[in-house]
Amino acid sequence: MAERYDLIVFDWDGTLMDSAAAIVAAMVAACRDLGLPEPTEERARHVIGLGLADALRHAVPDLEVDHYPRMVERYRFHYLSRDHELTLFPGTLEMIGELAGSGRFLGVATGKSRLGLKRALEHSGLAAYFHATRCADECHSKPHPAMLEELMDELGVSPGRTLMVGDTTHDLQMARNAGVDGLGVAFGAHPRAVLEAESSVGLVTTPAELALWLRENA
């Protein structure tokens, strides 16, 4: 493998786990429960990766602040009723294992809550591979650079030796704001055309291409 980066940070939903459709479905169902206008799929996909409060603020602009707790409760009800069915993208377990075996630091920067990430890591079998993680309920939400800055500080890695891998513009903008390279994946929440408008060191279209890019360039 190439040895360009000492720390590789991954987004979770839509990058490692095939969960974007489930997130959209849960958001739409929660709106339906509360009698609110349902967001379009495009609008719902756009907010994936943000912290839940920020995501709801953008996806459901008519939602009154007093109703946020109820909306969050309904969203979590619908999402958690299906999260045991979610799977990693093909080849992800092998890819992460290979990277871990090469001696890199591996991290996660996600819009999930800490409890949500803990469930996902345990369910997926990836928990043992990551050295440090940051979640939206304990840090500034993307595209603020805090998640990456804290991960780099914790692991003692400079921006020039860090790579952020994600499926949304929020991930690539966070990478830019933190002064690190960003690699876009176009098989998750945001379409390729949108990702192409952001600066990145590469853009891959399948999980297999992601594994190959990391092996040859990271």
> Annotated catalytic sites, by residue?
11, 13
50: Cβ–Cβ under 8 A, 6 or more apart, which residues?
A: 58, 111, 136, 141, 142, 170
Give CA–CA dist 218/209, Å, rounded. 13
Residue 14: helix, strand or coil by DSSP?
coil
* DSSP bridge partners of 106: 8
Tell me the CA distances in angstroms from 213 to 10, 14, 38, 59, 110, one per residue in order: 14, 17, 38, 33, 22
